[in-house]
Amino acid sequence: MKVKRAIVWFRNDLRLHDQVTLKQAMEQAEEVIPVYIFDPERWRHMEPGFVKTGAFQTQFLLEAVADLKNNLKSVGSGLMIYQGVPATRLLAVAESFGADKVFASKEVTWEETQQETAVAQALEEAGKSLELVWQATLFHEEDIPWPIQKLPEVFTQFRKENEKSTPIRPALPAPKKIPTPELPDTNLPDLESFGLAPVLSDPRAVMSFAGGETAAWKRLHHYFWDTDELKNYKWTRNGLLGADYSSKFSPWLAHGCVSPRAIYEEVKRYETERTKNVSTYWLVFELIWRDYFRFVCKRYGRSVFFRKGIKGKPLELTQNLELFEKWRTGMTGVPFVDANMRELLLTGFMSNRGRQNVASYLVKDLNIDWRWGARWFESQLLDYDVCSNWANWMYVAGVGNDPRENRYFNIPSQARKYDAKGEYVRTWVPELAAIPGGNIHLDELSERDIKSHGVAIGTDYPYPINR
């Protein structure tokens, strides 16, 4: 028998398409009340001194919530938007609307699961319940061939066995109509209410990212169907400049504006209707990495956030704030590192190749606590995803799932390989052109400095960063 009303609490799943919480709520309740809550915890300050969620990501999130509200309206529903503690807010909404159940997506990391426990307890004490739904991955947790404690230690085994035997559940269509009681109008907050200044757009940004499910599908359409770039992905994915060297799906995936299963189905459709090649396979391969890191976080719990990581390997790292600030603001003196860090600082995005290099440089060359780097990424990335970020950082720092001991990125040789003409570095470190002898290859500059000073810290660029 159906209950009268249920709440759907949207979290990092800001979409109608392939939305299991909505399906379950509609099956189990006569009316559904959609709610989104901005939890102030997400905007607290973190060591060594920045906000947990910065302006780029907050702006994207605000757009995504606004788009969700519009889309819900178009199917006869609405969205109640609050700022506050989820447990308190959800209980208040449940009581004022007489809702007995709350449906939400299951998360796996420490703060998110603590939040789930608090919500479940508050509801239980009032005779109500929280139902959590697994839906952020390509492979469902119930379908992978291992109990979570037996998850493979290396990605390749995880991928191969899943590719062999794990079905991918079909994506659900968006509901055409959602029965909803009359909802009071609640407003979207603005950036200022989080203590954040407006985002300035930089013409050098790879693209402009708009939050929301509508923009996610527009991007997918562009990358797959309009430009046919999907068929080139394997060869372009290590690029650094421009919108189409990679899919740029990550901000939408991180906020759940599109599901990995929906992307997978579009890849299959593309393979049938256009081309099937190593590139179409490789995009799915990368989505499997994303899955893997989520399962790793589920398996290892809080240790993902410890300096010694899931390997439990003690690392002698420093917390040198002065050096860290040079890294964070793109002023280390190593052009390839600075170019990437400035791109992140000024646009909220950085390529995968860039992320690997700057992370390696922070930990292996500057010997600084990798968790500071992970926190800066958390604050700054448009596509911040707890599992992808922290597990990738552990991997580069050598305390995660990398089977290779002591992986090291040689920055000058990476720059020569991936930015052979120095175009990327010139885009983000334009003042280099004015350095005497600046016509020498940009990477020779850093190599020379590395030879004479150990690392190239402290090179004074002749001009301040162009902001």
Positions that interact with ligand FAD (CB under 6 A) = 237, 246-250, 253-254, 283, 286-287, 289-290, 293, 351-352, 355-356, 359, 377, 381, 383-385, 388-389, 392-393, 396
CA dist 79 and 77 (Å) reads 7
Q: Least distance (Å) from ligand FAD to the CB of residue 465?
A: 22
- In terms of Cα–Cα distance, which of 292, 316, 341 is closest to 399? 316
- In terms of Cα–Cα distance, which of 188, 250, 259, 215 is closest to 22? 259
- In terms of Cα–Cα distance, which of 53, 32, 79, 43 is closest to 184? 79
CA dist 87 and 331 (Å) reads 43
Among residues 284 and 425, whose Cβ is nearest to ligand FAD? 284
Quote the distance between the C-alpha of residue 112 and its chain's center: 15
Q: What is the 3 state secondary structure string of 381-429?
A: CCCCCHHHHHHHHHHHHCCCCCCCCCCCCCHHHHHHHHCCCCHHHHHHC
Strands 80-83 and 29-38: parallel
Q: Least distance (Å) from ligand FAD to the CB of residue 341?
A: 12
Q: Least distance (Å) from ligand FAD to the CB of residue 115?
A: 19
- As annotated, the binding site for FAD includes 233, 246-250, 286-293, 383-385
- As annotated, the binding site includes 233, 246-250, 286-293, 383-385
Q: Least distance (Å) from ligand FAD to the CB of residue 431?
A: 26
What's the DSSP call for residue 318? B
Among residues 112 and 131, whose Cβ is nearest to ligand FAD? 112
Among residues 97 and 377, whose Cβ is nearest to ligand FAD? 377
Among residues 98 and 403, whose Cβ is nearest to ligand FAD? 403
Q: Least distance (Å) from ligand FAD to the CB of residue 3?
A: 36
CA dist 403 and 366 (Å) reads 23
CA dist 202 and 161 (Å) reads 43
Among residues 332 and 351, whose Cβ is nearest to ligand FAD? 351
